[in-house]
Amino acid sequence: MTRVIDAINRGARRVPTWVVYILYMLPVPYLLYLAQTGGLGREPIKALEHELGEIALQLLIIGLCVTPLRRFTGLNLLKFRRALGLLAFIYVVLHLTVWVVLDMSLLWGQMWADIWKRPYITVGMAGFLVLLPLAVTSNNASVRRLGAAGWRQLHKLTYLAVVLGGIHYLWLAKGFQLEPILYMAVILALLALRVVPKRR
């Protein structure tokens, strides 16, 4: 097992991070193509919005896996964590853009009212705002400026952002639906792993 992990770690060291960016941006043109050709169903706007939001949430969750994977299995994917976080932010921005432009047709009054009045939209918007300082400081210069400890402290906001994302999904579902519940369970489990006491 350790030999497999070592092999993966050696391989991962050779993969440049831009590969992750390229691979994870491929769904964007693909989804746009599907939306235009009927692949997202008869009403592509909601479907596109949903797909982008779900990818964002998945990326945040994958980002949350990096630390426990290293701690419990020795698998080291730390070098990809910034890419995963920034990609998550990019997908959140795309999700938000589809909502503003395609879904809400720039009806600013209705959107503004919804952000304050509708809990799931309030929570989603809060999640976006929490991610904003994290995206802005996801560069080496910011790490230097904030100091490693301060930067780490700030980036613990990821935990808040992913929980807000999970609640956002849970809250928009009609009736008792399985998928958002599973996402939330995974998020809570990954957060719980962080309070497992360290072995001596």
Cα 199 from Cα 191, distance rounded (Å): 18
Reading phi first (left if > 0) and then psi (alpha if -120 to 50, else beta), residue 43 is in beta
What mask, x for binding other proteins by CB under 8 A, covers residues 160 to 179?
-----------xx-xxxxx-
Q: Which residues of 15-52 are buried (b: 16+ CB within 10 A; e: fewer)?
A: eeeeebeeebeeeeeebeebbeeeebeeebbebbbebb
What mask, x for binding other proteins by CB under 8 A, covers residues 126 to 155?
------------------------------
Residue 36 is a binding residue for other proteins (CB under 8 A): yes
Q: Nearest distance from residue 22's CB to other proteins, in Å?
A: 25
Q: Which helix (H) or strand (E) holds 173?
A: none
DSSP structure class, residue 6 = H
Q: Nearest distance from residue 113's CB to other proteins, in Å?
A: 7
Residue 97 is a binding residue for other proteins (CB under 8 A): no
The correct pick among 120, 160, 186, 191 for binding other proteins (CB under 8 A) is: 120
Q: Nearest distance from residue 180's CB to other proteins, in Å?
A: 11
Residue 185 is a binding residue for other proteins (CB under 8 A): no
Instruction: Looking at 26-156, list the stretches that DSSP marks H as alpha helix, in order from N- to C-terminal side.
Output: 27-37, 44-73, 81-97, 108-117, 119-136, 140-146, 148-155
For residue 167, how many other CB atoms are within 10 A of its CB?
19
Is the four-CA dihedral 87, 93, 96, 101 of positive or negative sign?
A: negative
Q: Nearest distance from residue 175's CB to other proteins, in Å?
A: 4
Interface of this chain with other proteins, residues 50 to 79, rule: CB under 8 A:
none
Q: Nearest distance from residue 89's CB to other proteins, in Å?
A: 23
Q: Nearest distance from residue 23's CB to other proteins, in Å?
A: 25
Which C-beta is closer to other proteins: that of 16 or that of 119? 119
61: three-class secondary structure by DSSP: helix
| Cβ proximity of 97 and 45 under 8 Å | no
The correct pick among 4, 25, 41, 150 for binding other proteins (CB under 8 A) is: 41
What residue ranges bind other proteins (CB under 8 A)? Answer: 35-36, 41-48, 102-105, 107, 109-110, 113-114, 117-120, 171-172, 174-178
